[in-house]
Structure 1
Amino acid sequence: EDFTVRTLLDDQYRDATLLVEAFINRVADMTGYSVEAVLFDAEGKSILPAPAAASISGSTSWSINATHKTACARLETFVQSPSLWTAETPYLYHLVLTLIDPQGQAVDFESCQVGFRQIEIKGGILLLNGKRLVLRGVDRHEHHPVNGRVMSEADMRQEIVLMKQLNFNTVRTSHYPDQVLWYDLCDEYGIYIIDEANIETHGVGGELSQNPSWAHAYMERGARMVIRDRNHACIILWSLGNESGSGPNHAAMANWIRAYDPTRFIHYESGRPGPEVSDVFSCMYPNLDWMRSVLSDPMEKRPVIMCEYAYAKGNSTGNFFKFWDMVDAYPRFQGGCIWDWNDKALLHTAPGGQKYFAYGGDFGPDFDYKRFYQNNEDPQMCCNGIVGPDLTPHPGAYEVKKVQAPLSLTAANPQEILTGQFVLWNKHHTLSLSHLEIQWELIEDGLPVQSGKLPPVDLAAGQKIILPIPFTQPETLVPGAEYFLNVHFILANAVSWAPQGHEVYSEQFPVAFPVPAKPVVSLDTLPALAMVETEDCLRIHGAGFEVVFNKHQGLITSFEAGGRSLIHTGPTENYYRAPTDVDLLMGNPPASIHKWRAAGIDCLQRRVVRFQAVQVSYRLVEVRVAARLAAPGKPEGIDSEMVYRIFGSGMIALENRVVVDGRLPHLPRIGLELVLPAGFDTFSWYGRGPHENYVDRKRSASVGRYTSPVDEQFTPYVYTSESGGKEDIRWLSLTDSTGAGLMVIGLDMLHVDALPYTIQDLEAAGHPYALTHRPETILHLDGWHMGVGGDDGWTAPVHPEFMIYPGKYNFSLCLRPLAPKEDPAALAREAVEGVL
């Protein structure tokens, strides 16, 4: 009828005892019947000297399944040096149970996969097979964008493969037990499971757990989960449910489960339960300072796990590295589960026939997104996955993969980098690093100049060594160039979840070679300029180019070079962004978007205070534009001064000096917006990439040279928002099919994005299908761009160091024409006399 399997390891975690209890229906006299157990390894070879056998009795020591209708056979056998199961080494044995009648004939069979592993808590640390366990986890709902809650085996395999490729090793089955096949696959691929009972009383808190009349319902749901799933090696913790307060009914569940299954521990978070309810200290969306206080509390001795953290809603997942710095620093802090796996949206058809992912409100006749947010509602709360509904990774997924990788490579200081001495730390639980090849390259302004391979390093789990990387200083250092060392750890052989060559982890280091200074182009070598000023406009002519300012607007209205118009409008000041889901957060304090709208940051009006032009020399014209930006009827505002220096070469150096009134709230950005004519649709940049990144989410984005169509810079979050950002930009270009276009050089490093949509387009759309593609390219050049945050979705999850507060700000850049076949990197390495 049923059976229970347990594995017990000895004190050295080498040999094991296999315990099996088989239950047989008493359909007839069972006298003389017995049960035999045979254990096969992964190659199909029996590993026991002889089948383990036991006669049938009516007694049992550790199951509720033996009743007056059920007989029991208990088998216990020694297994020498079994291969141990972990998420990294998911070795499974095949157990076959045979019911033998008195004549020695086999009359029934059962079987299951068995993984030998042992879970313990010692010294406040959760251990697997005697070693500290780190949970690189994610919360998961059973969800498919077409089939809803129905998941096929292929769907589940696809999810597990992607999880493993993103360096996840744990799933919490939020908030109910999953279908049985999921556990079979997690046994097979190697995913730790926190198996959660289907109990949630969010609306009434702990009221039902305090009510004795609900005790049976609590007990039934816990017992059914444990009895059904108890034989799966992947399950490491039993969870008593979600957000249901805490009370006697939870304590009863916990004690029954401990008695029934003494080989695992209990997890529960809600109501701050003590050790009588939960064997681990579990928390949701912790403040890091509070987390440190918990870890230093002498009265709290349990392992600490975040059952939900890093609320991955839309463009978020900022600050993620901070949690993992703490996991590395505190042994009792053992990771957690990101909320959550995929966006819970359904594939739907728009009135125009476009396919899109639909969420709250999309299935009714009328829906007004702005009204929802004005009423403090949250229609897309279900879209908080680290991957999309179709499992397309969001950019934040690459940050997660990098930060929670099971190894790290670091250097203490620039001198250690120069000498090629790096600290390699194997953070795996079990595996050495012998399965990883190491590739490295030295790049010069984003292009490789040296490369090599290192043999796999047989570094045991948990250990550190000094890893030398044999790059050398190039014989000739290019003046003004920048050098980085990139190191990649890739799979030497294919595994069940990734092909050979899959990158598990990479790291980048700036290399401080004694690079000569940039060559300075003398002002005297530049072509001459002519300036013509009228009441309305200012025209500056040079060799093959013309710049036109509208004096009343204080803006460039035309920049032509080589017979091409390079700028449609701008640059103009920009202090707003299409709000992210975190900007739209619900709760206290008020959302950023509410503060911005109350201050009128989304509708600033620009008034030119002063326009002044001076021909400094025959080869240089300086233009100063002072402007005041404020919302209608509001005295508080932002003062901006643009200082342009137009050179005879066609280059425009621009310094923006900004003073933000102290009465204003924090700002999403301090920058400029340009609109480029149609045709400049190839975006190249030297900075962080290739994926979208922000100041608090950029560890996974290496500095390099990248090229992309402008159309591909848009990230299609289910709910449209700010997207496509790139940090630490040294230079960029937007070019046409001939390679001609506009180049921007950051005299200070910039945050940029280039999209075929305006901020207003993104804010109003609500869904990607509702966006109208513009032929122009909208280019944002920011001196500062606020982080995206993501600790949670209802407090103030952008950390202070990634905010932009009122004060004084200056940043500088250069605009210049780019001719076909010109090398932007070479142009960026030139310094021009007189540039700000």
Structure 2
Amino acid sequence: MNLRRILSFVLLIAALRLSAQEQISLNGTWDFALVKTGEEALRLKNFHAPGFTNNDFKPIPVPSNWAVLGYEEPVYRGFKEDTASEGFYLHTFTVPKDWNEKRVLLHFGGVWSSAEVWLNGQYLGRHDSGYTSFSFNATDKLKTDSINRLAVRVRQVTREYKFDVFDDWTLGGIYRDVTLEAMPAKRWIDNVVAQTTFDNYFKDADLKVRVMVSDKHKNTLPGNYPSPGEPYNLRFTLSDKEGQEVARQQITIPAHTSTDRETDFTLRILSPLHWTAETPNLYNLRIDLLEKGQVAHTRTERIGFRQISTIGGVFRINGQAVKLRGVNRHDEHPDVGRATTRAHWLQDITLMKAANINYIRLSHYTPAKGFIELCDEMGMYVGNEISLGGAGNLMYDPSFSNAVLQRSYETVVRDINSPSVIYWSIGNEDPLTTLHMASVKSVKALDPTRPVLLPWRHEEWLPKEVDILAPHYWKDREYDQLASHSDRPIISTEYTHAYGVDGFGGLEARWKALTKHPAGTGAAIWMWADQGIKTPVAKAEYSEDDISQGDKYLRIDYAGWDGIVDSYRNLTRDYLETKAVYAQVYPAIDKIYFVPGQDSIRIPIQNDFDFTNLNTVKINWSIWEDGQELSSDNSSINGQPHATSALKLPISKLKNIQPGKTYFIRFIFIRADGSEITREAVELCPQTEQIVQAVSNGKLIVSKDKESVIVATNDIRYIFNPRTGQLASADIQGKQMITDLRPVIWRTLDRSETSAFGKENVRKAVDLNKYTQSVKSWKIEESEGNVVIKTEVNYTVDTNNRFTTTYRYTIGADGRLDVSYQILTNVAIPWLPIIGMAVQSASELNQLHWLGLGPCDAYPNKQAAPILGLWGGKAGSTETTGIKATRWVERTGAIGCLRIASIGYMEHNASRPETMYILSGVFARPEKGRKAEESVPQLSTDTGKPFVGEFSITLKANQK
């Protein structure tokens, strides 16, 4: 290590030690009292007085939210009649004696929603804004020779508290860090703003620094003439993350007595490492204020060389167009409410990056400073939000301009130097008002380097100060239309709602429709985690099937049950869908044709990273025949971002193609750190002459009576019931395999479907599978090769709900049964959840497997996470239950094998393990109150057309 590097490292350590000496944390155990009414508050009106004592005060941790600790029931959204409890806090502390010559600031990271503060009985001030950080000058009221007493009154309801009320919990308390900071009393560095600008080649960069130095020296000359004062020096030192010095310069600043002065200074940096979410390279910027050759005060900032542009309607970072794979996040956790810690932040960001998420919209307020610093460090794009979205009609009242401008100022100045913050967001789902524009213009004046958007506002006539359009919850074709011609970038700050555990439909379609255009920058899912709050008090009303998953201490409002992970960050099916849709590397095709005996094929691999070459990605691949692996290996290829490259794979083992088998390649894409990006499959389709499978020459035998029609060949027998028109039984070698086959058009709606169907339709809904039936027609056609049974059956539920099913059963000489059906409905509700046939099999067939998409559920508009393969397990297990997209389904057990070939879906339920639904249609996954795009199945009942489906049944006995 050279001498200059050693010196830089020593200076860095010295600065950190100085910083530690100049800051004191006041976190810890405080005294606390909660009052429920204004009358109770009056009894504590003098709680800040030096001699005040009261036995009502109890120990409480700070930071914390008092509702999470069980002091009262948490409230979702605002308070009824705008009446709420208040908290009174007391805390004692000491400071170093040499602070009597210092300027001291008292910092609060966050108090919801109002803080009134006294120090040693003297009033410091009041702050009304629940999510922004704030400070008081405590210099003249601080004691350095005895114990200090801090008193804080926290109100939840103020005139403007609804600015900070959203679709989330309202949690009162001092919930972020409280610190004291000391600095020189006469001259100090008050503020630092660092901005980076690259040259035209994005190689070298200017680091532009604005430093505000405050001066409180007295003016010693008579009259209004300023004192000449003393000049000082500012030293700028930039070092990399290892502490190696990159640049250093020092300048002399003329004296400015009793006034502040802002100094602009530029450091030219040659070939700095870029900061992006894929390459989060950080530097340490240190500014020393030197007086008479000695360091009087120091400020340090972590910065990244990152430049944003929206020119031409394309969102660029460091000159490269980027795509934002996003999610909304509340800064909360069930165990601590909003008093989140680094461990919580690290867990969230780690899980997000594992799911290929690179962008977080901070809904709907700025989080703890430490969270944004971790985004800087780990690499995550952040949309930081000014907390105005709960204000509603208050934004039409000019008297609230102070609330608007305060939140705008405090949000921007705290995080202006963080490279992860890539835009400022004003409010949430608001109309555009004069006060909104006041916020926009003040934010752009404070920070002209970042674009601004208003969530939900997408109009192309928006003022030019609004740099980005931000529509919410549009259909994919609407995103396509807007992005195809927009001259401003589009970031859909909410575009797909992850309501419950069964919704979240259409994510892939919306993502692709938006981002295929240059203006389509990206979007954010609503939302990251279920909004759960846990308290030590059990809920007054609780049921085991509640959405809090069996935990009677965990509160989740149905309006906040919308995470792609649950409250404790356990992964869900929606998390897996997100990871698959947002994957930056994947095969650009889903099937490829080949000639058996061909030596190799080329698979196009898409690289959707913005800055990362494909050669950093390891590609594990394997070739499969149904559930049997034929060969495997791993590869890597070179490929630029936003480009497709070819991967050459050997397929010489695919010479003997077996009829009825499915061939495919399974890929697993691995990051440089060993974590998985995604896994995908590409089907291998042989181009051969038609393969004719040999069939049995068995003879079909048909026997009839009033109770049954029996069609038999070899060891297989099918029994039909003329009274119902349905297949009643199927057996092989005398062992019954199928015990019932009947139409199914209904099941209990899940919460997502209930939300989409609407309350009125849900009220009219009945169990359409509880019917009576009558055979309208029955016909048997026999030929030498097969037997065809045609039947039409009327099904009646009640006077408002009935349907007709027309069946065609074809039994071939090989014993295979082909079933085709048409179901024409006349029901009271406009949609059905499913359509198909219920197959009930013998209990001995207790293993269930399917070839198709798996292992997780698949729906018409939610199929990114499951991949092609052979999947299954024990019937009724978690591996087999749910809705699966199938090529064929098998039930196997001690008595044989039942295979159903069906291009469609299979639904299986643990409560009825012998039954599976073979479905031709599934209601496409809705969101919260929104049905899927019209291009995917709606299962509408008012078209006048029947629903149709078909499948085939093959029985096989076990070999003796």
Farther-moved stretch of structure 1 (463-472 vs 39-48): 463-472
3-state DSSP of counterpart to 1:584: helix
Q: How far apart are the structure 1 equivalents of 2:545 and 2:474?
A: 38
Change (3 A) 1:611 1:813: same
- The residue type paired with residue 637 of structure 2 is V
Partner residue in 1 for 2:857? 692
1:306 aligns with 2:496: no
Partner residue in 2 for 1:486? 666
Q: How far apart are the structure 2 equivalents of 1:730 and 1:412?
A: 15
3-state DSSP of counterpart to 1:800: coil
| CA-CA distance at 1:336 after TM superposition | 1.1
- By relative contact order (CA 8 Å, sep 6+), the higher-ranking structure is 1
Contact persistence 2:745–2:835 (CA under 8 A): yes
Q: How far apart are the structure 2 equivalents of 1:574 and 1:693?
A: 19
1:521 aligns with 2:679: no
Aligned residues: 749
Partner deviation per Cα, 1:424-455 (whole Å, 9 max, x = no partner): 3322211111110223333223433233332x
1:780 aligns with 2:917: yes
1:756 aligns with 2:942: no
Change (3 A) 1:756 1:649: farther
Partner residue in 2 for 1:259? 445
Please show how residues 404-443 of structure 1 align to structure 2 within 5 Å: 404-411=582-589, 420-443=601-624
Q: Which of the numbers 230, 237, 240 marks the counterpart of 1:31?
A: 230
Contact persistence 2:274–2:281 (CA under 8 A): yes
3-state DSSP of counterpart to 1:123: helix
Farther-moved stretch of structure 1 (604-613 vs 387-396): 604-613
| CA-CA distance at 1:810 after TM superposition | 3.7
Q: How far apart are the structure 2 equivalents of 1:389 and 1:819?
A: 48
Partner deviation per Cα, 1:105-149 (whole Å, 9 max, x = no partner): 334433232111001121111211011121111111123234333
Q: Which of the numbers 824, 836, 844 marks the counterpart of 1:659?
A: 824
Q: How far apart are the structure 2 equivalents of 1:694 and 1:782?
A: 11
Partner deviation per Cα, 1:146-194 (whole Å, 9 max, x = no partner): 4333323222212111211211110000101011111011111111000
Q: How far apart are the structure 2 equivalents of 1:566 and 1:652?
A: 13
Please show how residues 816-835 of structure 1 align to structure 2 within 5 Å: 816-817=954-955, 819=957
- The residue type paired with residue 676 of structure 2 is H
Q: How far apart are the structure 2 equivalents of 1:141 and 1:90?
A: 23
Identical counterparts, % of pairs: 22
Please show how residues 329-340 of structure 1 align to structure 2 within 5 Å: 329-340=516-527
Q: How far apart are the structure 2 equivalents of 1:98 and 1:612?
A: 95
Partner residue in 2 for 1:216? 402
3-state DSSP of counterpart to 1:224: helix
Please show how residues 16-165 of structure 1 align to structure 2 within 5 Å: 16-26=205-215, 28=217, 31-48=230-247, 50-53=248-251, 55=253, 70=260, 72=262, 74-102=264-292, 104-165=293-354
Change (3 A) 1:605 1:9: same
Partner residue in 1 for 2:626? 445
Q: How far apart are the structure 1 equivalents of 2:633 and 2:558?
A: 47
| TM norm structure 1 | 0.80
Please show how residues 96-495 of structure 1 align to structure 2 within 5 Å: 96-102=286-292, 104-201=293-390, 204=392, 207-270=393-456, 272=458, 274-295=462-483, 301-314=487-500, 315-346=502-533, 357-358=547-548, 380-411=558-589, 420-454=601-635, 456-472=636-652, 474-491=654-671, 493-494=672-673
Partner residue in 2 for 1:375? none
| CA-CA distance at 1:196 after TM superposition | 0.5
Contact persistence 2:745–2:769 (CA under 8 A): no
Contact persistence 2:376–2:420 (CA under 8 A): yes
| CA-CA distance at 1:607 after TM superposition | 0.8
Q: How far apart are the structure 1 equivalents of 2:758 and 2:546?
A: 28
Change (3 A) 1:352 1:583: closer
Contact persistence 1:446–1:703 (CA under 8 A): no
Contact persistence 1:346–1:357 (CA under 8 A): no
1:11 aligns with 2:11: no
- The residue type paired with residue 310 of structure 1 is T
Change (3 A) 1:696 1:270: closer
Please show how residues 461-610 of structure 1 align to structure 2 within 5 Å: 461-472=641-652, 474-491=654-671, 493-494=672-673, 500=674, 502-504=676-678, 506-514=680-688, 516-524=690-698, 531=703, 533=705, 535-536=706-707, 552-554=723-725, 566-567=737-738, 570-585=740-755, 591=757, 594-595=760-761, 598=764, 600=766, 602=768, 605-610=771-776
3-state DSSP of counterpart to 1:251: helix
Please identify the structure whose Cα radius of gyration is greater.
2
Q: How far apart are the structure 2 equivalents of 1:821 and 1:285?
A: 56
| CA-CA distance at 1:236 after TM superposition | 0.3
Farther-moved stretch of structure 1 (151-160 vs 543-552): 543-552
Farther-moved stretch of structure 1 (620-629 vs 689-698): 620-629
| CA-CA distance at 1:25 after TM superposition | 5.0
| CA-CA distance at 1:224 after TM superposition | 0.6
Q: Which of the numbers 828, 834, 852 marks the counterpart of 1:669?
A: 834
Contact persistence 1:57–1:73 (CA under 8 A): no
- The residue type paired with residue 952 of structure 2 is C
1:804 aligns with 2:959: no
- The residue type paired with residue 401 of structure 2 is A
Q: How far apart are the structure 1 equivalents of 2:285 and 2:266?
A: 13
3-state DSSP of counterpart to 1:281: coil
3-state DSSP of counterpart to 1:381: helix
Task: Let me know the Cα RMSD of the aligned residues.
Answer: 3.8
| CA-CA distance at 1:89 after TM superposition | 0.6
Q: How far apart are the structure 2 equivalents of 1:395 and 1:287?
A: 22
Q: Which of the numbers 733, 741, 754 marks the counterpart of 2:890?
A: 733
Gap regions ≥5 residues in structure 1 = 60-67, 366-377, 495-499, 716-722, 758-773, 823-836
3-state DSSP of counterpart to 1:434: helix
Contact persistence 2:668–2:676 (CA under 8 A): no
Q: How far apart are the structure 2 equivalents of 1:112 and 1:13?
A: 22
| CA-CA distance at 1:563 after TM superposition | 8.0
Q: How far apart are the structure 1 equivalents of 2:580 and 2:302?
A: 33
Contact persistence 2:534–2:553 (CA under 8 A): no
- The residue type paired with residue 425 of structure 2 is S
Q: How far apart are the structure 2 equivalents of 1:69 and 1:147?
A: 43
| TM norm structure 2 | 0.70
3-state DSSP of counterpart to 2:404: helix
Change (3 A) 1:346 1:623: farther
| CA-CA distance at 1:8 after TM superposition | 1.9
Contact persistence 2:590–2:683 (CA under 8 A): no
Change (3 A) 1:743 1:154: farther
Change (3 A) 1:416 1:168: farther
Partner residue in 1 for 2:898? 743
Farther-moved stretch of structure 1 (127-136 vs 643-652): 643-652
| CA-CA distance at 1:483 after TM superposition | 2.4
Q: How far apart are the structure 1 equivalents of 2:751 and 2:268?
A: 55
Contact persistence 1:550–1:556 (CA under 8 A): yes
Change (3 A) 1:445 1:250: same
Contact persistence 1:197–1:222 (CA under 8 A): yes
Q: How far apart are the structure 1 equivalents of 2:505 and 2:687?
A: 32
